[in-house]
Structure 1
Amino acid sequence: MKHSLLRRTLLVAASSVVLMGAILPAAHAQNKMVLRVSTPAVPDDWHAKMWTVFKDELEKSLPGEFDVQINLNASLFKQGTEPAAMARGNLELSSISAFDIAKLVPEFSIFTAGYVIRDPEHQQKVFNGPIGAEMFKSVAEKMDVTPLSTIYLGTRQVNLREVRSVKTPADLKGVKLRMPGSKEWLFLGDALGATPTPLAFGEVYLGLKTGTIDGQDNPLPTVRAAKFYEVTKQIVMTSHLVDGIFIAISNKAWNSMNATQKQKMTAAAQAASSYNNENRIKEESQLVEFFRQQGLQVTTPDVDAFRKSVQATYLNSDYAKVWPKGLLERVNQTK
């Protein structure tokens, strides 16, 4: 009887230990702050892989404090809907474009204009300095999201069916240049000196092949991926738009963090940015030689002439009316 009672007591004690062992990790997991990430990026893209860098960096610096859940391929929220989801508190993290921001923060439209950002290095200096701090403060106030770092997406170049001498915007006169269909993109095509022609991306290859359009503009990785080099003969390195997106966090999540968490979160976002930017810049530099091997001429125009002409066109338009006074000059002067 005594042995039986002792055995039951030991079994109960052992069960309690097992149960507590199961409860403690569960409780620990429940204490982690969940950070849902939504991005339209496909797995092989650098700005998809950067989220793994972000997650790993955060886990290294603050082990066990966050549960970062990465959702690629727009599987959680459709592209363009992420800012509203973050403002509502339904999403913690995403990468948002300057075009997305400009819808709610009109002055941010300066970064959707041609020849405002010169190159990836200039992009980082602008957004990591006083200008970025001011603009991001407006974003946080008007959109309920806080930008943490700037991601380089690529520099757009002009890609032509036939070889022509292009030094200034005047040399693109009469060129039917395919642009995305929005008025902002068509304005950029016009500012470049071309005849902007709206055409869906999926129709560009055939349009180049048949002569419906004379050219198109995209970053070099897109030219390779879409095989536009098969139906064109020249790439003009106009570098007219240095494209970027911004890792941003909802204010609801941001404001719930302590100072250390915010500092580590920003550092993780900067590490993700550096990873993406270094790899994307390296890829772009290698592609110039790839296109030459494919038989394309790669030429460089008078970029300063393009910049002066395009900036003047924007400054004389309605777009510039919402830009803060002196901001363009400050961006131009950032070295």
Structure 2
Amino acid sequence: MAFSLSRRLVLGLALSSALVAGPAFAANPVKLRISTPAVDSDWHAKMLPVFKEELEKRAPGQFDVEIHLNATLFKQGTEPAAMQRGNLEMAMISAFDIAKQIPEWSIFTAGYLIRDPEHQQKVFASDIGEEMYKLVEDKMGIKVLAVGYLGTRQLNLRIEKEVKTPADLAGVKLRMPGSDTWLFLGKALGANPLPLAFGEIYTALQTGAIDGQDNPLPTVRAAKFYEVTKQIVLTDHLVDSIFLSLAGATWNKLDDKQKEAVLEAAQAAVAFNNEGRIGEERQLAADFAQQGLKVYRPDVEAFRSHVQKAYLESELSKAWPKGMVERINAVK
């Protein structure tokens, strides 16, 4: 009898311990800290709560998503290294960030390669995307979850001169971000590119230190560049991308169902971003015209042929995977 009672007591204690352990395990969800320089009014910031909500729907209680905007957690451009060191779980990184470590990715920094947002999504949903994402996973230890549309870059000038072809940009001081790949793009467009921090653009336009800058139209609105410029030239020279990415070490800790939930939530988030950004861009061209800016489309084909020729003849293109330009152009 004593043996029977002792056994029941042991079993009861074991069961109680299991019940306590279960909730304790569930109370330790996978932490996903997302770092971005985006401000809360940016579409690629607005999409992050969508990611968080969609992930919670698909995997209730299994993830703890923290969103850090305004580069408060890591400075812009340092996120890939932070993920690689194990100091950060998630970030939105650019092709320019990736190209610093994987030269083959500089193909996605080239002007006039990706035609429009639809082409962008199709390219990265194809075997091209699969191959290039695998390079990031193998060489950087980062898992790309989804590609978001960051906007189509246009020329925004303070000068009166109408620009129809690259020749019309000769001598024009065009602000570009301060990296070799960005400066090459400015030169390929026909301008005189000058490196300048984003925060200095407004004053430089105001004083004439630069003649223009290039950014997607939502950025022109958000930074109020329209106040100190006279025209917007719809060159469509770069369909920019942002890649919602996860540290490889974090990805590898997830089970198959969690991985599926993360991928689906990422797709829902970028779909929200893409729809909102495309709609805003379409409206902004008309809004700027109403505000008195000259808004017009130049000879885009002249720009495209000039820019692509410059890239194909450059050192940059030597790192591109053989035949990749033709494969990207063939995606319809």
Q: TM-score, normalization: structure 2?
A: 0.89
Partner Cα separation in structure 1 for residue 197 and residue 33 of structure 2? 32
Partner Cα separation in structure 1 for residue 251 and residue 322 of structure 2? 30
1:4 match: none
Correspondence list, 1:123-272, <5 A: 123-272=120-269
Structure 1 gaps of 5+ residues are 1-16
Partner Cα separation in structure 2 for residue 210 and residue 34 of structure 1? 47
Structure 2 gaps of 5+ residues are 1-15
Partner Cα separation in structure 2 for residue 284 and residue 192 of structure 1? 22
Partner Cα separation in structure 2 for residue 38 and residue 198 of structure 1? 25
Counterpart amino acid of 2:119? H
3-state DSSP of counterpart to 1:104 = coil
CA RMSD in angstroms comes to: 2.0
Of 95, 103, 106 in structure 1, the residue corresponding to residue 103 of structure 2 is 106
Partner Cα separation in structure 2 for residue 207 and residue 76 of structure 1? 29
1:9 match: none
1:89 aligns with 2:81: no
Partner Cα separation in structure 2 for residue 189 and residue 86 of structure 1? 30
**Residues 81/214 of structure 1: CA separation in 2 closer, same or farther (3 Å cut):** closer
Partner Cα separation in structure 2 for residue 280 and residue 330 of structure 1? 27
Of 292, 295, 305 in structure 2, the residue corresponding to residue 308 of structure 1 is 305
Q: More deviation in 175-184 or 238-247?
A: 175-184
State, as a whole percentage, how many aligned pairs show the same letter: 65
2:113 match: 116
**Residues 323/73 of structure 1: CA separation in 2 closer, same or farther (3 Å cut):** same
Q: Would you say the 8 A contact 1:177–1:197 is kept in 2?
A: yes
Give the Å deviation of 1:207. 2.8
Give the Å deviation of 1:192. 0.5
**Residues 289/179 of structure 1: CA separation in 2 closer, same or farther (3 Å cut):** same
**Residues 144/231 of structure 1: CA separation in 2 closer, same or farther (3 Å cut):** same
Q: Would you say the 8 A contact 1:34–1:68 is kept in 2?
A: yes
3-state DSSP of counterpart to 1:67 = strand
Q: More deviation in 279-288 or 64-73?
A: 64-73
Partner Cα separation in structure 2 for residue 25 and residue 258 of structure 1? 19
Q: Would you say the 8 A contact 2:83–2:247 is kept in 1?
A: yes
Q: More deviation in 299-308 or 311-320?
A: 299-308
**Residues 42/212 of structure 1: CA separation in 2 closer, same or farther (3 Å cut):** closer
3-state DSSP of counterpart to 2:41 = coil
Counterpart amino acid of 1:224? R
Partner Cα separation in structure 2 for residue 33 and residue 187 of structure 1? 41
Partner Cα separation in structure 2 for residue 314 and residue 174 of structure 1? 20
Give the Å deviation of 1:320. 0.4
1:29 match: 27
1:12 match: none
3-state DSSP of counterpart to 2:143 = strand
Partner Cα separation in structure 1 for residue 87 and residue 274 of structure 2? 28
Give the Å deviation of 1:67. 1.8
1:330 match: 327
The CA deviation string for residues 259-308 of structure 1, in whole angstroms up to 9 with x for no partner, is 22212211110001001111111111111111011111111012122111
Partner Cα separation in structure 1 for residue 204 and residue 60 of structure 2? 52
Counterpart amino acid of 1:215? G
Q: More deviation in 249-258 or 123-132?
A: 249-258
Aligned length: 317
The CA deviation string for residues 7-30 of structure 1, in whole angstroms up to 9 with x for no partner, is xxxxxxxxxx9x999986544212
3-state DSSP of counterpart to 2:100 = helix
Q: TM-score, normalization: structure 1?
A: 0.89
1:298 match: 295
Q: Would you say the 8 A contact 1:163–1:297 is kept in 2?
A: no
Partner Cα separation in structure 1 for residue 203 and residue 35 of structure 2? 33
| Runs of 4 or more above 4 Å deviation | 19-27
Q: Would you say the 8 A contact 2:26–2:62 is kept in 1?
A: no
Structure exhibiting the larger radius of gyration computed from Cα positions: 1
The CA deviation string for residues 82-116 of structure 1, in whole angstroms up to 9 with x for no partner, is 21222222222111111111111110011111111
**Residues 113/165 of structure 1: CA separation in 2 closer, same or farther (3 Å cut):** same
Q: Would you say the 8 A contact 1:178–1:216 is kept in 2?
A: yes
1:11 match: none
2:284 match: 287
3-state DSSP of counterpart to 2:38 = coil
Partner Cα separation in structure 2 for residue 75 and residue 92 of structure 1? 15
